[in-house]
Chains A and B, each alone.
Chain A
Amino acid sequence: MPNMNMVQSVNSALDNMLSRDSDIVIFGEDVGYFGGVFRTSDGLQEKHGKHRVFDSPLSEGGIAATAFGMGINGLRPVVEIQFADYIFPAYDQIVNEMAKVRHRSGGEFWCPVTIRTPAGGGIRGGHHHSQSPESQFTHTPGLKVVYCSTPFNSKGLLISAIEDNDPVIFFEPKRCYRGPFYGDPHNVPTWKQHPEAEVPESYYKIPLGEARLAMEGDKCTVIAWGTMVHVAEQAIRNSGISCDLLDLQTLVPWDRDAVVKSIEKTGRCVVVHEAPKTSGFGAEMVASIQERCFYHLESPIERVTGWDTPFPHTTEWDYMPSPSRIAEAILKTQEE
């Protein structure tokens, strides 16, 4: 099985789907001739044709609106918003239009659009190339929200997202495109040697709504998504505590059974995300866990998140949750 980084695995998912389904079109800023600023659509225009993989104007609202129109008229568009920070001009089209058209039309029209967007920090991107705006979409009924973390799950989840008949916002942690990130900016490995980088060339799916048990233990449940899955993995090792590490993968709908099962086993929980704390998706997790698992909890649930501030440029390592911060939270859950 070939070793792929996450750029290659996303590319492979798109390539597979373009070959399988002639209703799929791909467009976005720089995605056509150039193959995307992160190279995720490299070579696809040449292989599948200009009418299927093409550049768009710098117009996120226009990209989303065009995708909407194509979607309700029988196509299955997969569009890229170059950075998640730039998705907001498209917000009305996503939240008021894509998310609601099936419902508002009594099921007569629907919009099977996938919006891929690189998200998250760790690349010295400052305010506007680093944000992780998943909770701005998890709060909208009618959308599905996916956040991949590895080459293997990015491909399988993206194929499921594209085949889904509802609109899906698909976040790709850009920090992890070329390697997992363990919280140390001075020591960033590539995906080579990583078991999750063994990716089949062919078509396969990972169902939406299922979490991945990335590490198995019995003293604490650590829930994370995106880049934070790898940072949390490092934190768990550093803490010396035996933990379940749940990579949520899909935030809407999230995997209730996997979360409940793990917490009933461990009785303790840390939720990690790099987005700001207030109204972050971690708040939803904590609230839902106490509703469902209160009598299994042995200690308060901890949250380790980005701060409620804009994302910084040169000081981003003091912003993003670090292995030390997460490890401390894990240890805190172990206190009697």
Chain B
Amino acid sequence: MVKKKTESIHVPDAPHRPGDETKFEQWSWKPEDLNRLDIECSVDDAINHATGLVRVLDDDHEAKGEWNPNLTSEELILGLEHMLRMRIFDERMMKMQRTGKLSFYMRSFGEEAVAIAQTMALKNQDWLFPTYRQPGAQFVRGRDMVSMICHCIGNEEDNVKGRQMPVHYTYREGRYISVSSPVGTQFSQAVGVALASKYKELDEVTITWIGDGASAEGDYHYALNFASIFKAPVILNVVNNQWAISTHSNFASNNQNFAIRGIPYGIPSIRVDGNDFLALYSVTKWARERAAKNLGPTHIEVLTYRAGAHSSSDDPSRYRPKDSNDFWPGGDPIERLKLHLVQTNNWSEKMHKELEERIDSEVMDAYKEAVKFGDLANGPYPSSDAIFTEVYETPPWHLLEQWDEMKRWRDE
């Protein structure tokens, strides 16, 4: 008889749970530690950058090192404004959710820099294939807030016609591809989008994001493999915000460095401080240059922290220490950029407060305008005819029959 072992399956523990003292591994990386890589670097050249952490803003909010993108103060202030708009917009939407005007909401809290800095580093013709945590990219591409709110409340003016949950934006005009709930699917699809641009010989790059949690899906690996084999002009970002709802990133991978996983696929990979606007901008611009020069994909781990709940249906105090965000060494991306601008005499607390007030009233105005077209609690909603349209290019007979039946009950 085989002797029974004393230990059963090993199930990892999260590093901290409610009641625990929050601990984050302190970052020892300084902006000067990592050189700027040549865009024609080999995969091996990038290993230090995959295991290290690219930063530009140091702990004293100074921009330093070879990765400093040397942006103008106007560009930085625009980035700050987009991030602030995202945060204030999120706060307003959460309030609306709590009063029943939205069914559900997801904030980008603490991760505002990710979509905004990265999209600003791209060209307008580049395709964005986001998850639900990158809506800020739409501000960069000029989407009207009223239209965004109309989608979230699923009213008559919702451009996706009341079919998708809030935050599942589609914005073709801004090349922001439709968000899908099955997490990870966009990652492998983005490679196809990029290959189509290459097939058409256009100067277009595709950027996509996936969470640390969803990087355990097959789609993540399909994406890296296809992108590498076919040299797709694609930027593949793993946004490691450390939590997939209640599941810590140590369930997504037993190697807590996510960037390094790109190396064996033959893709230059870099880990970047996801709360450092300048570092994000710089690394993304570098990746775009590589893609545009036919050097293939770049894999980026965006190290950040989900400062808020996963969604309006989630209560993180049940699975992680309530105060853990305060101990996150990355700090608040908005505060960091603000202090950098103040320090370089391009910004002041007073200007910041004025900007906040202006955005706050813009968001309020947009909200008031949007609810003119209805809200979730009171309607009017998009016509339920939209259940049957756009399932196919032209509705086949069986949909027409069922549509008539629905109308008979609805219009009775």
Contacts and interface: CB of A to CB of B under 8 A. Distances in A.
B390 A69 contact: no
Interface string B278-308: 0000000000000000000000000000000
Contacts of B171: 108
B179 to A, nearest CB: 9
Contacts of A65: 185, 188-189, 191-192, 219, 222-223, 226
B160 A104 contact: yes
A109 B189 CA distance: 13
A68 B180 CA distance: 13
Interface residues of B, number: 45
Contacts of A166: 392-393
A65 B224 CA distance: 12
B267 interface: no
Contact of A73 (B192, B222, B391): B192
B209 interface: no
B131 interface: no
Interface in B162-216: 163-164, 168, 170-172, 177-178, 180, 182, 185, 188-197, 199-200, 206
Contact of B170 (A59, A108, A256): A108
A4 B129 CA distance: 44
B199 A51 contact: yes
B185 A93 contact: yes
B222 A103 contact: no
A96 B217 CA distance: 15
B163 A97 contact: no
A106 interface: yes
A93 B397 CA distance: 26
B353 interface: no
B159 interface: yes
B164 A104 contact: yes
Interface in A108-126: 108-110
A165 interface: yes
A86 to B, nearest CB: 14
Nearest to B164: A104
Interface in A58-76: 59, 61-62, 65-75
B226 A104 contact: no
Contacts of B229: 57
Contacts of A59: 222, 225-226
Contacts of B177: 72, 105, 109
Contact of B391 (A66, A102, A105, A164): A102
B138 to A, nearest CB: 13
B188 to A, nearest CB: 3
Given A107-B390, A142-B392, A253-B397, A75 B196 contact: yes
A97 B222 contact: no
B12 interface: no
A132 B387 CA distance: 30
Contact of B188 (A62, A71, A256): A62
A310 interface: no
Interface in B217-271: 218-219, 222-223, 225-226, 229
A75 B199 contact: yes
B127 interface: yes
B142 interface: no
Given A65-B222, A72-B193, A105 B188 contact: no
A144 interface: yes
B9 to A, nearest CB: 26
Interface in A124-153: 141-142, 144
A189 interface: no
Shortest beta-carbon contacts, A-B, top 5: A69-B192, A62-B222, A65-B188, A253-B396, A73-B196
26 contacts: A59-B226, A65-B189, A65-B191, A65-B223, A66-B192, A68-B192, A69-B196, A70-B195, A71-B192, A73-B193, A75-B200, A89-B218, A92-B185, A93-B185, A102-B390, A102-B393, A104-B170, A105-B172, A105-B177, A106-B159, A107-B389, A109-B172, A110-B393, A142-B391, A209-B397, A252-B396
Interface of A: 25, 51, 56-57, 59, 61-62, 65-75, 77, 89, 92-93, 96-97, 100-110, 141-142, 144, 164-166, 209, 252-253, 256
